Structure 1
């Protein structure tokens, strides 16, 4: 049987509680990702989503558990795993192009300067910034800076791309534009993506599956929701698919009504759910809420 590209087994994270004990943020977190899969994770603040992502990136260590990528244990940062944060993380003294070339040179040290430049410029063009290659981050808008961050992450061609609420600080219009750019690049590269978001609609638009986390402390991935909406998807038309409303209602119902009591299966793995094959929650039970 073919093993998953990424395996997370019995992951837990504890911090000192200041009273001689320990606070368990999450425990018994288990999931697997297939190669080329796009997965979003949603949950209320404090459930440990960013900590899980940092453990996958090798930027933090779990208190318990194991992360395997390509059947090798994840230990420390690696160029095989790229991260895009909410705050852009660009080098302010470098131009847009040089910010990307910096990462590409580290990833492909045997490449010539021309190869590095051409490769970097190609990814800048993918995100519509060919006109801004010589600008520095201070000369770019927030949306443009985030596009540079995404282009840099994809340009280094990591096997796993980790996105920590990359559009959270952007206005709705800019957010939509960059979502489109992200989908376009991912469809071209078919890289594996693990993304944190608080936006239900964003998760449905982008992902193949959505992990739902219960509330902390002792948070867990309670359910794994399959998004059975055909690709390509667009923001302008996705709401016309009947499955969209069913999935959205299911996600909001979980966040509003069930995240405080939800738990995984007896073996610690999330319940696999296809809400498009179930009755959608009654509209009267769905409270308007920002998630």
Structure 2
């Protein structure tokens, strides 16, 4: 079996139930891989364990079973090789926008000079269009601006893997769209490897190379590995006009609305089925299961 840049093998997470001699299985038999430079989204209903999987990838939590291997090394704890952007911004409120980025860059490269750290940090703040508010503290910024600072800080540390936990979930639709476009542009220029949790089907189609679909929890599994077979670069205003867009979108919505519950018991292999709805709609091969 081919080993990818990130390899998740037979992951399971179980929590003891107080006062009872049994445990709750959040998910089990989770196996998938991510290639270097690939953007992968994971979608599923609340309670299926998406954030718990991300915690295992980041090293913030240890799985009950299984292993996460990144770049040939087992993930056994937090590392600056993995950057995380949370939904709630996670900025230091007493530091300016620029200083929040400097804080991360200094931790990543402690031997750099102050000037180099500042120039590097300013470059990434400029990348997200916030150079004019660099001296403002988080409390003086809008929600969208704060999330841009969080994204800039994560990219500035140049992690091998960027983990995004519903980073746009608290933003209004217009602001979310603007930052999505920025993320598309930055990922295209940096070839960043990304794993992202989202509940937004349209967001996943815009951003991802593949979308992992989780069955309902508890005892959730990754039921399908859906290929987003749409050309890049993608733009929000035009991606809906791409041939096959609605075949892909309808497949994702059908899974979430009609098939996510039954998929929990229907999936018999740790390797999810590889699905290409666009190819199938045009008369391509049927879904098939392969090793992750």
| Class of the TM-score when normalised by the shorter of the 2 chains | over 0.9
**Larger deviation, residues 17-26 vs 260-269:** 260-269
Paired with 1:238 and 1:175, the residues of 2 have a C-alpha distance of: 16
> Which residue number in structure 1 is paired with residue 31 of structure 2?
30
Report the number of matched residues: 280
Structure 2 gap ranges (5+): 283-292
Superposition CA RMSD, Å: 1.2
Instruction: State whether residues 14 and 24 of structure 2, in contact with CA within 8 Å, keep that contact through their aligned partners in structure 1.
Output: yes
Q: Give me the whole-angstrom Cα distance separating, in 1, the residues matched to 2:99 and 2:233.
A: 32
> Structure 2: how far apart are the matches of 1:89 and 1:197?
18
Which residue is 1:271 aligned to? 273
Match of 1:137 in 2: 138
CA contact (8 A) 2:215 2:222 kept: yes
What is the match of residue 288 of structure 2? none
Matches within 5 A, 1:112-127: 112-127=113-128
Aligned partner of residue 65 in structure 1, secondary structure: strand
Alignment partner of 1:8 is 2:8: yes
- Please give the alpha-carbon distance, in whole angstroms, between the structure 2 residues aligned to 1:20 and 1:145: 45
Deviation at 1:20, TM superposition (A): 2.6
In structure 2, distance between residues paired with 1:11 and 1:130? 42
Q: What's 1:184 paired with?
A: 185
Confirm whether residue 233 of structure 1 aligns to residue 227 of structure 2.
Answer: no
For structure 1, the 5+ residue unaligned runs are 281-291
> What is the TM-score of this pair, normalised by structure 1?
0.94
**Normalising by the residue count of structure 2, what TM-score does the alignment of the two structures yield?**
0.94
CA apart distance, 1:265 = 5.4
Deviations 1:170-203 (A, max 9, x none): 0000000000111111111111000000000000
Shift of 1:109: 1.4
SS in 2 for 1:247: helix
Runs in 1 of length 4+ with deviation above 3 angstroms? 263-267
How far apart, in 2, do the equivalents of 1:269 and 1:111 lie?
Answer: 43
Tell me, in whole angstroms, the C-alpha distance in 2 between the residues paired with 1:2 and 1:278.
Answer: 25
